[in-house]
Structure 1
Amino acid sequence: MKVSASRPLGLWMCTALVVGNTIGSGVFMLPSALAPYGWNAMIGWGLTIAGTLCLAYVFSRLSRAFPRAGGPFAYTEEAFGKAPGFLIAWSYWISVWVANAAVAIAAVSYASVFIPGLASTPGLAALTTIAVVWLATAINALGARSAGWTQVVTTVLKLVPLVAVAGLALHVLLTKGAGVVAPFQASTLSGGGITAAASLTLWALLGIETASIPADKITDPARTIPRATLVGTAFTGAIYVLVSAGVLLLTPVAVLKASNAPLADFMAYHGLGDLRAPLAAFASISALGALNGWVLIQGEMPAAMAHDGVFPAWFGKLSKRGVPVRAHLVSSGLCTVLVAMNYAKSLADAFTFMALLATAATLFAYLACSLAVLRLQASKKMAADRALTVIASLAALYSAWTFYGAGWSPTLWGLVLLVAGLPVYLFMTRAAKVAPETLA
């Protein structure tokens, strides 16, 4: 596919954006969190992948019908108007730069394997985390193509250990037979266990929507975004299932529950020795790659809002390279403040808080976009399509179910972020009305 200078992101870079933003640091720890759920976790994975594929289809059809920058903001605005669109975009933007703080902390946390002082010295950890954030910001400031190539390279590197784990699992299964697989016991299955496991697996797949946000930087967005979204989501889901199933079903639960490096312990259990150091290096690269992709999003979202007139025009100013540098500087500045405010916490505590806050708004965006399809079909802005209606309805039900599975805390945080945007929206609306009168 030919890539233009004004739209530097082609199919491969868009797909890498989806895969790279979705596969971050979580996959390297997820087997430990899922270990207590046994076969409930595998059913949870099935439901999560089915739900996220429905969501991916929703985003693919919306991006084909409305190839505008902004993703969830653009689609919600088309369906429900400027105020709901702004509130979804506002909370989503906050969630992104908060998530960037969490992902940067994860990268530094894995690096502490090689530099122990990062884990024991909060001030050093905070300074290193801030430096990592600004490094990713500098890469994105060079242009979307620079960020795109960085995303492609880090995505390929982060897949190396995951493919190795999946390959080892297949080798163990072929050489030792099905007898080594954890036995299936129907009596251990429960609705609560499946729901809890599915909630954990959803966190690992957040980011499937990211190709839709920088639409103005993408070659032929009406075709490229849908393909990148669907292929990226399906590929990521397959990688996650292969890795999780192999580790969960071929390693004793007692080993995984107490593990701080489940992939390394899985490999050690099957005779490959201590691989904690190389896996920590790959995990750090994986987190850095995800940070690079999410930094791209943190600049594009407020720029899209500014271009639509619901955010200060200052945020939409582009550099000579076509980058919303001002939006990046503000977003990374806020991320820096957040890291500095939490430097006294342990890396684990700071990561948990920021991850909780970051994931909350994404759930609202998924629900809003699923309902947007139904609304747009009813208002004739999208062609009537029975299959799309069914899939969008399933996506909406899945999104609503995730709130129940996640618990009240993420839902409450999501509502707080939405409500916090109301004063900003009212101010912008008032400013837009006053401006013509002032000029007159």
Structure 2
Amino acid sequence: MPSLPPNKNKLGLWTSTSLVIGNMIGAGVFLMPSAMASFGSISLLGWVFAAIGAYFLARVFSNLSKLLPQVSGGPYAYTRSGFGDFAGFLVAWCYWIAVSCANAAITISLVSALTAFVPALGSSATASIITGLAAIWLLTWINTRGIIVSGKLQLATTALKILPLLVVAVGGLFFIRFDNFLPFNNSGTSIPTAINATVTLAMFAFVGIESAAIPAADVEDADKTVSKATVIGLGIATLIYLLGSISIMGVIPVQKLAQSATPYADAAEIMFGNSARYWVSAGIAIAAFGSLNGWILIQGQIPRSIAKDNLFPAIFARENKRDVPYVGMVINSVMVSVFMAMNYTKGLVEQFKFLMLLSIFTVFVSYLLTMASYVIIRAKQNIKTGWTGAVVLAILAFAYCLWGIIGAGELTVFYGFLFMAAGIPVYVWIRLVNKNINQ
């Protein structure tokens, strides 16, 4: 059949779904129970509200993938279509920074999971940095081999990660001690304040919901596949998050959980004995490895898309013989390496929190403008039906994004705005350079 040769070099439904699941779960599941433990069991409400908001985002991304099929770039492409070049560039700039922070946080999670096998990684910053760098650059090399190679690795690691996570999440329900859920609010603040803080942290676990839309031009039947992959991926990840959080909080006392660098492995040890720590840690390490692979794939796609639109230095669009934007990928991996190394002066959980919050701000700025673009794109395409539902959906998703930005905290917003402001002179310089070239 004439259509088979190009399709065999594109991502299918399950590979695209694994990209969504792998990027979401790998970014949030590892240290999240420890990061949220100090709030008490009220943090479970944070998961519920975050999941509801993520569903609104998923619906908008799903609808946008149908309005603009085969358009790569995800939030950047949608915002540029709605608001124009400057807004598109600002979204790409924010998202680019967010991916760098997220990859640094995922690398830290990978190193943390490996402490079960190499205890020195928990006490030696040098050993931790070397291990993290090795993972970053090995996966960068793998991703330069082509999107199909990256996709197959993503599918395999996603399948391997789900089993141990579900074993802990489901098995832990039979070992719950209900007194571990008390006190309900241990934050020392009001219930609304505590819920706001936990929702903000939980939001990070849903970053990546847009992953299937970013390489859309490399996805088979993108108008259908991207939409399905986004919704299916969200559903599976949400199930694992909620069950896992309930089980771990019910199995491990809150004081111990707040200090744990490997909460899933600690819970498995309590449930199944000492040996369980190792197979759960192995599963989590595989999950982190796969998530890092997925985000490294993504980190080359956004700069390539904006470079092809003459809104970023042309070097980021340079591809190898396998059509991989290898230069942009390498530059981003350098940034990730620097972020990871700089933050090893703090404890694992504390640096994970900081990177989470910084990523939350920058990525939710991208989401915010994307949600607003949804209504504008519908208007530009002169769509006559479904306006009430579309507007309500856009408002709910927009409000969720605004909640994430506000909840990031003053210091995080300050640093986030610094990153955004740094993008303005870059944009002006690129426009001037392109103008001179065209003349």
In structure 1, give the amino acid aligned to 2:29: V
Deviation at 1:319, TM superposition (A): 1.8
State the match for 1:100 in structure 2: 103
Pairs within 5 Å for 1:377-388: 377-380=378-381, 383-385=384-386, 386-388=388-390
State the match for 1:77 in structure 2: 80
Is the counterpart of residue 281 in structure 1 residue 286 in structure 2? no
Is the counterpart of residue 126 in structure 1 residue 129 in structure 2? yes
CA distance in 2, matches of 1:79, 1:25: 29
What are the superposed Cα offsets for residues 263-304 of structure 1, whole Å, 9 maximum, x if unpaired? 333334445446333322222211111100000011011001
State the match for 1:144 in structure 2: 147
State the match for 1:358 in structure 2: 359
Unaligned ranges ≥5, structure 2: none
What are the superposed Cα offsets for residues 392-440 of structure 1, whole Å, 9 maximum, x if unpaired? 1101111111223222223223222221111111111112222222xxx
Deviation at 1:48, TM superposition (A): 0.8
More moved, 212-221 vs 19-28: 19-28
Q: Mark the CA change 1:381 to 1:283 in structure 2 (over 3 Å): closer, same or farther.
A: farther
CA distance in 2, matches of 1:90, 1:401: 21
Pairs within 5 Å for 1:284-433: 284-342=285-343, 350-380=351-381, 383-385=384-386, 386-433=388-435
CA distance in 2, matches of 1:217, 1:105: 30
Q: Mark the CA change 1:109 to 1:33 in structure 2 (over 3 Å): closer, same or farther.
A: closer
CA distance in 1, matches of 2:48, 2:359: 24
Deviation at 1:350, TM superposition (A): 4.9
CA distance in 2, matches of 1:94, 1:286: 22
More moved, 291-300 vs 229-238: 229-238
More moved, 130-139 vs 350-359: 350-359
Deviation at 1:381, TM superposition (A): 5.2
Query: What secondary structure sits across from 2:378 in the alignment?
Result: helix
Q: Is this contact kept in 2: 1:111–1:284, CA < 8 A?
A: yes
CA distance in 2, matches of 1:17, 1:286: 12
Unaligned ranges ≥5, structure 1: none
Give the alignment's TM-score, normalised by structure 1: 0.90
Deviation at 1:156, TM superposition (A): 1.2
State the match for 1:12 in structure 2: 14
Superposed CA RMSD in Å reads 2.8
Query: What secondary structure sits across from 2:212 in the alignment?
Result: helix
Q: Is this contact kept in 1: 2:173–2:246, CA < 8 A?
A: no
Give the alignment's TM-score, normalised by structure 2: 0.90
Query: What secondary structure sits across from 2:220 in the alignment?
Result: coil
Q: Mark the CA change 1:49 to 1:92 in structure 2 (over 3 Å): closer, same or farther.
A: same
CA distance in 2, matches of 1:288, 1:52: 24
Identity of aligned residues (%): 37
Query: What secondary structure sits across from 1:37 in the alignment?
Result: coil
State the match for 1:55 in structure 2: 57
What are the superposed Cα offsets for residues 221-279 of structure 1, whole Å, 9 maximum, x if unpaired? 11111111111111111111111122224554344334333333333444544633332
CA distance in 2, matches of 1:27, 1:417: 26
State the match for 2:48 in structure 1: 46
Is the counterpart of residue 167 in structure 1 residue 150 in structure 2? no
Q: Is this contact kept in 2: 1:255–1:265, CA < 8 A?
A: no
Query: What secondary structure sits across from 1:23 in the alignment?
Result: helix
- Matched residues, number: 433
CA distance in 2, matches of 1:404, 1:341: 26
Q: Is this contact kept in 2: 1:3–1:10, CA < 8 A?
A: no
Query: What secondary structure sits across from 2:29 in the alignment?
Result: helix
Q: Is this contact kept in 1: 2:79–2:369, CA < 8 A?
A: yes
Is the counterpart of residue 216 in structure 1 residue 195 in structure 2? no
Q: Mark the CA change 1:203 to 1:60 in structure 2 (over 3 Å): closer, same or farther.
A: same
Deviation at 1:345, TM superposition (A): 5.5
Deviation at 1:85, TM superposition (A): 0.5
Q: Is this contact kept in 2: 1:3–1:219, CA < 8 A?
A: no
What are the superposed Cα offsets for residues 43-63 of structure 1, whole Å, 9 maximum, x if unpaired? 222111110000011111111
CA distance in 2, matches of 1:186, 1:259: 20
Deviation at 1:340, TM superposition (A): 4.6
Q: Mark the CA change 1:381 to 1:106 in structure 2 (over 3 Å): closer, same or farther.
A: farther
In structure 1, give the amino acid aligned to 2:302: M
What are the superposed Cα offsets for residues 134-179 of structure 1, whole Å, 9 maximum, x if unpaired? 1111111000011001111111111122110123134447xx9xx7
CA distance in 1, matches of 2:266, 2:112: 18
CA distance in 1, matches of 2:362, 2:135: 24
CA distance in 2, matches of 1:278, 1:329: 32
CA distance in 2, matches of 1:412, 1:184: 33
CA distance in 2, matches of 1:284, 1:117: 16
CA distance in 2, matches of 1:305, 1:183: 49
Q: Is this contact kept in 1: 2:27–2:207, CA < 8 A?
A: no
CA distance in 1, matches of 2:295, 2:44: 28
